[in-house]
């Protein structure tokens, strides 16, 4: 026998029992974003590698270690997108969507790919729902993005399970000055740094701030902080975001060490974090990236956005048992037919019922079978009623209608009255 093939490590099938939860989350967010005036954009999964190298930044883990990059048949270097912002900016530029200072409020959803070490909540193919807003330089839109995520948590019952961390990275000049100060401080303590942080000291020193190493964290206690280097405009911007969050009662924690793993951010950065999922607790993260559009060849265009991790949110909803019971939709009606003539008549009847009762969940037995086997399948389907069509019913032009969830008697209903009868029975059960 040949070897059974398996999925690639960290790339998961999302099975039929899981998809209702995904659709529930995706649907809630799509409706919410619609309500705030954000429009969907659909983007390719593959882009030229250069887009990510320039957009996300060499020296970041994502670009240096985690991209799925390959040469296509034309010897072009392509990469499976590790995130959505760079591609969204590319599309906005390519189609002139931000030209003339036009405001764009966009969202996208889909798989992203990072060669990370898989564990609970961290996969190599994972899904994000991302939101990006262009040409809005003020703190009002940063706050709007946070407010709309808070509304989602409220709707899903997650409000008490997540907390908001907020920081400002300042202008690129302020950050550069801070970087120098941090590097000088850490260079004096180089030998005490963990190996990863030693490497990062030259490639991406700000990332040392969120090192998980306890000794490195202890060293950082006396280090200069980003807040000390914040430029006045960025300080006011942050105050503007905070004032708006205060105005609508959204609690946050200012975390000076929050720097994010992608290079394009300036000013506002934020993460929604939960302690219910173990190590991979960030369910939504984002910030402002006013320099990214120019970095990718466009005119200066402010941008800000975030992305949510769909797997992590579904896991959280499952863990906290917050998924509505009715998500696993069951059938309303199961039609059993015995013999070829009954099957043919049954098919026509079923289609007439679908015409008459919109949204009806009707399963027509497939694969024939004895009375016993068809009834067993009807029962297993969770249907509330079985319809029975045999030779006798065919001759009399009736259908046996048997309630499956209580002891009520089976009734014979004429074909012409069936739709009305079923609709009334189903409504009575609601």
- Applying CB under 6 A, the residues found at the interface with ligand HAM are 83-85, 114, 116, 121-123, 126, 128, 130, 132, 261-262, 282-287, 305-307, 309, 311-312
The minimum distance between CB 90 and ligand HAM, in angstroms, equals: 13
Report d(CA 345, CA 390) in Å as an integer: 10
The minimum distance between CB 309 and ligand HAM, in angstroms, equals: 2
The minimum distance between CB 159 and ligand HAM, in angstroms, equals: 18
Question: How far does the chain reach from its first CA to its final CA, in angstroms?
Answer: 51
271, 258 contact by CB (below 8 A): yes
The minimum distance between CB 333 and ligand HAM, in angstroms, equals: 40
Alpha helix (H) ranges present in 98-194? 139-156, 172-187
Q: Choose between 60 and 381: whose C-beta lies nearer to ligand HAM.
A: 60
Residue nearest to ligand HAM (CB): 309
> Phi and psi of 337, rounded to 5°?
-130, 140
Rg (CA), the chain: 28
Report d(CA 199, CA 384) in Å as an integer: 64
**What secondary structure letter does DSSP report for 96?**
T
Helix (H, G, I), strand (E, B) or coil at 17: coil
The minimum distance between CB 177 and ligand HAM, in angstroms, equals: 24
22, 14 contact by CB (below 8 A): yes
Report d(CA 353, CA 422) in Å as an integer: 9
Q: Choose between 123 and 178: whose C-beta lies nearer to ligand HAM.
A: 123
Q: Choose between 205 and 309: whose C-beta lies nearer to ligand HAM.
A: 309
Q: Label residue 105 left, alpha or beta by phi (over 0 means left) and psi (-120 to 50 means alpha).
A: beta
Helix 19-35 / helix 310-319 crossing angle, nearest 10 deg: 110
The minimum distance between CB 127 and ligand HAM, in angstroms, equals: 8
Q: Choose between 170 and 287: whose C-beta lies nearer to ligand HAM.
A: 287
The minimum distance between CB 407 and ligand HAM, in angstroms, equals: 49
The minimum distance between CB 264 and ligand HAM, in angstroms, equals: 8
Q: Choose between 116 and 231: whose C-beta lies nearer to ligand HAM.
A: 116
Q: Choose between 196 and 343: whose C-beta lies nearer to ligand HAM.
A: 196
Among residues 428, 389, 421, 390, the alpha carbon closest in space to that of 406 is found at: 428
Helix (H, G, I), strand (E, B) or coil at 56: coil
Q: Choose between 61 and 332: whose C-beta lies nearer to ligand HAM.
A: 61
Q: Choose between 167 and 374: whose C-beta lies nearer to ligand HAM.
A: 167
Report d(CA 306, CA 198) in Å as an integer: 30
320, 161 contact by CB (below 8 A): yes
Alpha helix (H) ranges present in 9-104? 19-35, 49-55, 61-65, 85-94
Q: Label residue 101 left, alpha or beta by phi (over 0 means left) and psi (-120 to 50 means alpha).
A: left
**Residue appearing with tokens 């399970």:** 161
The minimum distance between CB 82 and ligand HAM, in angstroms, equals: 7
Q: Choose between 307 and 357: whose C-beta lies nearer to ligand HAM.
A: 307
């Amino acid at each position: 026998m040949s070897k059974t093939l398996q999925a690639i490590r960290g790339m998961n099938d999302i099975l039929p029992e899981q998809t209702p939860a995904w659709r529930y989350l995706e649907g809630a967010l799509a409706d919410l974003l619609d309500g705030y005036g954000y429009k969907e954009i659909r983007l390719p999964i593959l882009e030229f590698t250069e887009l990510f190298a320039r957009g996300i930044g060499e020296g970041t883990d994502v670009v240096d270690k985690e991209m799925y990059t390959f040469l296509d048949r034309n010897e072009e270097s392509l990469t499976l997108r590790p995130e959505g912002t760079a591609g969204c900016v590319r599309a906005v530029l390519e189609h002139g969507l931000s030209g003339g200072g036009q405001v764009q409020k966009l969202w996208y959803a889909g798989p992203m790919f990072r060669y990370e070490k898989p564990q609970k909540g961290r996969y190599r193919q994972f899904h994000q729902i991302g939101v990006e807003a262009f040409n809005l330089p003020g703190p009002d839109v940063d706050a709007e993005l946070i407010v709309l995520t808070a509304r989602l948590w409220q709707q899903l019952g997650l409000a008490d399970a997540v907390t908001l961390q907020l920081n400002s990275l300042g202008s690129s000049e302020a950050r550069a000055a801070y970087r120098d100060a941090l590097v000088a401080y850490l260079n004096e303590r180089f030998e005490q740094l963990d190996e990863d942080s030693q490497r990062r000291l030259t490639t991406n020193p700000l990332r040392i701030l969120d090192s998980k190493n306890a000794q490195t964290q202890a060293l950082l206690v006396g280090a200069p902080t980003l807040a000390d280097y914040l430029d006045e405009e960025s300080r006011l911007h942050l105050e503007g975001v905070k004032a708006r969050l205060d105005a609508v009662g959204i609690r946050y924690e200012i975390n000076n060490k929050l720097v994010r793993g992608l290079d394009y951010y300036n000013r506002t950065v934020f993460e929604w974090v939960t302690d219910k999922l173990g190590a991979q607790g960030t369910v939504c993260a984002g910030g402002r990236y006013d320099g990214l559009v120019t970095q990718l060849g466009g005119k200066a265009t402010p941008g800000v956005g975030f992305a949510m991790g769909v797997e992590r949110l579904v896991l959280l909803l499952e863990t906290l048992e917050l998924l509505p019971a009715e998500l696993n939709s069951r059938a309303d009606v199961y039609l059993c037919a015995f013999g070829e003539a009954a099957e043919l008549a049954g098919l026509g009847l079923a289609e007439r019922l679908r015409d008459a009762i919109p949204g009806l969940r009707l399963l027509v037995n497939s694969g024939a079978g004895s009375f016993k086997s068809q009834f067993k399948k009807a029962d297993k389907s969770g249907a509330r009623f079985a319809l029975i069509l045999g030779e006798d019913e065919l001759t009399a032009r009736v259908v046996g209608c048997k309630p499956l969830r209580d002891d009520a008697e089976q009734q014979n209903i004429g074909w012409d009255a069936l739709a009305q009868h079923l609709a009334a029975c189903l409504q009575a059960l609601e």
